[in-house]
Amino acid sequence: MTARINSWRAALLVYRDRRLLFILLMGFASGLPLLLTLSTLSYWLASVGVDKTAIGLFALVGLPYGVKFLWAPVLDHLRVPWLSARLGRRRAWALVIQAALVVAILALGWTDPSVAPWTTAAAAFVVAIFSASQDIVIDAYRIEILAAHEQGAGAAATQTGYRVGLLLAGAGAIALSDFVGWPVVFAALAGLVACTMVVVLLAPRPGVESEFERAGKLTAEPGAGPSRADWFETAVVAPLADILRRPGWLAILAFVLLYKFGDAIGGVMANPFYVEIGFTGIEIAGVTKVFGMIATLLGVFAGGLLVARYGVFRALLVGGILQAASNLLFAAQAAIGPDVSFLAVTIGADNFTGGLGSAAFVAYLSGLCNVAFTGTQYALLTSFMAAGRTVLSSGGGWLADQMDWIMFFVLTTGLAVPGLLLLLILMRLPAARLVGAPGR
């Protein structure tokens, strides 16, 4: 059951825990490689003259992030020889994966997309595989190292670090490329990943891990221990079966899919909206990127406090309602026109409420995970969420073509209602029956 803290002061003191510093730095490690296979990569390709069709196809290198649940059972149930005994299963895998990431990022930087674009694509795909694998391990570590009432603060810490990592790998890398060559840019980012390996070595070991090792849940290495059939049952079938045995599992999965549906539809058309109503590129970048990021970080911090003070369900409800309401500011913006001051209000409110809702949502997904299958279940839930949002939001452009911007953003507010209704249904179920992790 999700624990609560009885005062705002006690809720705030959760952030003083030194474990959250490690979680923040690990979140930074997760954010660094992501844009190297997305927007930073596309900027690099465009800057060296790769054609738009090829740049579009490069988006496929991000596929590992959507299917990482396929190999999450391996990271959950196999140990790294020698290292796991000394560091624990999560930190051992994190160290191995980060070492591989350093090599892969360096290799990506030394490719030449103008001469051999498919070599660059292959290197970027390898970076994406190791980056997605790092996410599995770091997410599982966060869930296992924190108690139930700390998951909101953990979500805030990891998202803060993650967004700083995105900023450095995105705007930072692009700005640096004006002064040095791309191999140096990628070498600098690889060096930052190498620094996070020190964080992994210093981070505390989750106490829950030894319980499962003593219970014989893990095999020492591939091919050791249980038969392949038993291993498949334990590592692959059992995590999914555990979710499907939960009372209200269908409502849970539908909620995971729909909680941010309205935001996803509105978000995919935000940039076209800014351009069409008359904002300049400098205005958009200044307000949405710089001011927007600050508002997001404040939102995730507030979301962590709400989870600690009132529990994850109430925090989800507050976040969901505010997220939906913030879309009405975009409708007002459409009526007012290209007023930069009002844009700051709109972006500030949207990013703050989005960050608040995200912190609560990550805490909720974390609480759904049984610590016997943490990596697999969290990867499965987040892949389901991401794939669903991608598919569902793909119709945003068509909707925007059918109506004016005011009606479009009013509609996105209404699209948040199904997720909120599902949340109210889940709140009526006993909270302990919705959380699979023993002892939570």
Highest mean pLDDT among 38-52, 287-301, 414-428: 414-428
111: pLDDT strictly greater than 50: yes
| pLDDT value for 47 | 77
pLDDT in tens, 184-197: 999 999 999 999 99
Bridge partners for 78 per DSSP: 219
C-alpha triplet 76, 78, 82: angle, nearest 5° = 125
Query: What mean pLDDT, rounded, does the chain reach?
Result: 82
Residue 44 pLDDT class (50, 70, 90 cuts): confident
Span 385-406, average pLDDT: 77
Q: Encoding tokens for residue 275?
A: 């351009």
Distance CA 185, CA 172 (A): 9
The pLDDT score that the predictor gives to residue 16 is: 67
Q: Which residue has the higher pLDDT, 438 or 225?
A: 225
17 contacts: CB under 8 Å, gap ≥ 6: 150, 153
CATH code of domain 1-225? 1.20.1250.20
Q: What is the pLDDT of residue 394?
A: 66
What topology does CATH give the domain 233-440?
Answer: Growth Hormone; Chain: A; (1.20.1250)
Contact 109, 182 (CB under 8 A): yes
CA atoms within 13 Å, Cβ hemisphere of 349: 17
Which pLDDT does position 107 carry in this prediction? 95
DSSP string covering 274-339, please? HHHHT--HHHHIIIIIIIHHHHHHHHHHHHHHHHHHH-HHHHHHHHHHHHHHHHHHHHHHHHH-S-
Q: What are phi and psi of 219, to 5 degrees?
A: -100, 150
How confident is the model at residue 99, as a pLDDT?
Answer: 96
Q: How confident is the model at residue 130 (pLDDT cuts 50, 70, 90)?
A: very high
Residue 73: is its pLDDT beyond 80?
yes
**DSSP character string of 341-409:** HHHHHHHHHHHHHHHHHHHHHHHHHHHH--TTSHHHHHHHHHHHHHHHHHHHHTTHHHHHHHS-HHHHH
The predicted structure's pLDDT at residue 125? 92
pLDDT, mean of residues 236-250: 82
- The CATH 1.20.1250.20 domain(s) of the chain lie at 1-225, 233-440
